[in-house]
Amino acid sequence: MEIAIIGGGASGMMAALAAKQQDKKSTVIIYEKNDRVGKKILMTGNGKCNFSNMDFRPEYFRSDSTKNLQCFFDAFGVQETLEFFEEQGLLVKNRNGYLYPASEQAATILDILRFACERAGVEIKTEAEVKRIAKKDGGFLIDAKVEKKHFDRVILACGSKAGPKNMTSGSGYLLAKSMGHQVIEPTPALVQLRCMEDFFKQIAGVRTECELTLFVDGKISQKERGELQLTDYGISGIPVFQFSRYAARALKERKSVKVSMNFLPDFSEENYEAFVHNRFEKKKGQSAECFFLGITNKKIMQLFLKLAGVKPDEKIEAGNREKWEKVFLLLRDFQVQVKESNPFENAQVSAGGICMDEVSENLESLLVPGLFFAGELLDVDGRCGGYNLQWAWTSGYLAGRAAFGVSNIVNGF
């Protein structure tokens, strides 16, 4: 059996190892367009590589078709991933469920995969972009930059458009389309959002706990809470990343996208009213700057005073309560208009890709027998927290096994 794996990232290397596990004498070749495999792995987890998460639920993944996701992870999930890496010698650090190499170096994960491929006899060809795949003689003819070669099976694992331009091109979509597959238009995900307002330079650099609500055409789409990061062009941070795929897709559909920020998320409505009342009772007569001191970040507070038309040295008196109440409303419902997401080169992953309704329970093409898919090329993307790498391990392992006819059916698909 001869198997070509197009793409030497996380899913591609896992697919190669899973294939070799089935038959050590088989020929398994990885074609990687970059000058080395696994470059994107080095960027994950801020270079520390959060490679999976013990808090694992299929609903942490997004796709236009999620019907088989549970079964994929039943077949190869977090526990199987841990066992694989520990067998390769990895010491694992568990940070509240977030799994990292004990070295806290993404290079450790990459080196484990590289050396495992070397020991298994996987052949890796770098600077070997595949230009064309064609059905021929019951298999496939691969036309790569370095050679033309016939294979029995092909696994497409060449990633998405997300990441630095010199690493990613989205060429996998074109290869899939050439084989008749539908590609759900990719959009950036786990990415920053750019906003219309011109005041962001005043609050750039602020990091603060916040509850965010995403509105699409005036309706609540998603809610997230965590550390918000304010930039000179808009909003960033984990809670923004978590719903950015929905914002990017809505913007592509020319819908209105707004985000409401609650800088005091621990207050209930009743408690907040009491807090405001007590503030007036105890601090009226003070300057606005003193009156609002200590509630939230000073840069945010100064902006809200300006937006409400309040001067910092203005005295807080009951007669002007409408202006002060506007500031309190902004603290709980500060709305901004999103105009676009940052581009693919700033995104950690893509939303969209090969339609999951066009692949089997073994990640084999339903249109072209012998063609398999793995990783981010498929229409599956996860939340921040190691979930996208877990999808790479899961889909790569299952595709590699299935290329040898090993079924991945667990508990029935």
Sorting pLDDT into bands at 50, 70 and 90, what band is 250?
Answer: very high
**Cα separations (Å) of 178 from 115, 133, 157, 175, 182?**
33, 8, 15, 5, 10
Among 341, 364, 391, give the residue marking a domain's end.
341
Same domain, 197 and 182: no
Structure tokens at 2: 């001869």
Q: How far apart are CA 48 and CA 41, in angstroms?
A: 9
Same domain, 60 and 87: yes
Burial 83-117 (b: 16+ CB within 10 A, else e): ebbeeeebeeeeeeebbbbeeebbebbbbbbbebb
In the chain, pLDDT over 70 holds for what percent of residues? 97
pLDDT at 410: 46
> Which residue has tokens 């503030």?
279
Average pLDDT of the chain to the nearest whole number: 93
Q: Is residue 317 part of a domain?
A: yes
pLDDT at 318: 59
Same domain, 301 and 238: yes
Query: Any idea what DSSP says for residue 36?
Result: S
Strand partners, 132: 143
Which has the higher per-residue pLDDT, 13 or 325? 13
- Single-letter residue type at 68: N
pLDDT at 191: 97
Q: Is residue 364 part of a domain?
A: yes
Same domain, 296 and 378: no
> How far is C-alpha 136 from the geometric centre of its chain's CA atoms?
36
pLDDT at 412: 34
**Cα separations (Å) of 333 from 113, 130, 260, 264, 328?**
47, 50, 6, 10, 9
| pLDDT tens profile 26-82 | 999 999 999 999 999 999 988 999 999 999 988 899 999 887 888 899 999 999 999
Sorting pLDDT into bands at 50, 70 and 90, what band is 319?
Answer: low
Q: Which among 404, 413, 408, 391 has a CA at the least distance from the CA of 81?
A: 391
Q: In the chain, helix, strand, coil percent, each to 5? A: 35, 25, 35
Q: Is residue 355 part of a domain?
A: yes
Same domain, 60 and 204: no
Question: What is the mean predicted confidence (pLDDT) over 353-374?
Answer: 95
Question: What is the mean predicted confidence (pLDDT) over 139-143?
Answer: 95
The DSSP bridge pattern shows strands 139-144 and 148-151 to be antiparallel
Helix (H) and strand (E) counts in the chain: 12, 21
**Torsional class of 311: left (φ above 0), alpha (ψ -120 to 50), beta (otherwise):** beta
Structure tokens at 68: 């088989």
pLDDT of residue 407 exceeding 80: no
Q: Is residue 51 part of a domain?
A: yes
Same domain, 203 and 141: no
pLDDT at 320: 67
| pLDDT tens profile 155-201 | 999 989 998 876 777 889 999 999 999 999 999 999 999 999 999 99
pLDDT of residue 352 exceeding 90: yes
Q: Is residue 375 part of a domain?
A: yes
Strand partners, 287: 315
Same domain, 308 and 241: yes
Same domain, 308 and 221: yes
Domain count, the chain: 2
The domain of 393 spans 2-187+351-402
- Single-letter residue type at 130: V
Same domain, 155 and 198: no
Same domain, 125 and 178: yes
Say which range, 163-167, 282-286, 334-338, has the weakest mean pLDDT. 163-167
Q: Is residue 117 part of a domain?
A: yes
Question: What is the mean predicted confidence (pLDDT) over 112-120?
Answer: 97
Q: How far apart are CA 342 and CA 353, in angstroms?
A: 19
Same domain, 311 and 381: no
Structure tokens at 206: 């602020």
Q: How far apart are CA 74 and CA 381, in angstroms?
A: 18
Among 321, 341, 361, give the residue marking a domain's end.
341
Question: What is the mean predicted confidence (pLDDT) over 398-408?
Answer: 84
Residue-by-residue DSSP string for 246-300: HHHHHHHTT--EEEEEES-TT--HHHHHHHHHHHHHHHTTSBHHHHTTTSS-HHH
Question: What is the mean predicted confidence (pLDDT) over 379-391?
Answer: 96
pTM for this prediction: 0.93
Same domain, 80 and 197: no
> Which residue has tokens 């595709």?
399
pLDDT at 413: 29
Structure tokens at 343: 């581009």
- Single-letter residue type at 319: G
Q: Which among 202, 196, 29, 48 has a CA at the least distance from the CA of 123?
A: 29
Q: Is residue 383 part of a domain?
A: yes
For residue 349, give every residue at least 6 positions away whose Cβ sits within 8 Å of its Cβ, in sequence order, or none.
160, 162, 189, 190, 376, 381, 382, 388
pLDDT of residue 386 exceeding 70: yes
Sorting pLDDT into bands at 50, 70 and 90, what band is 283?
Answer: confident
Structure tokens at 410: 């667990």
Length of the chain in terms of residues written: 413
Q: Is residue 141 part of a domain?
A: yes
Question: What is the mean predicted confidence (pLDDT) over 399-404?
Answer: 93
pLDDT at 101: 97
The CATH number of residue 369's host domain is 3.50.50.60
Among 341, 368, 388, give the residue marking a domain's end.
341
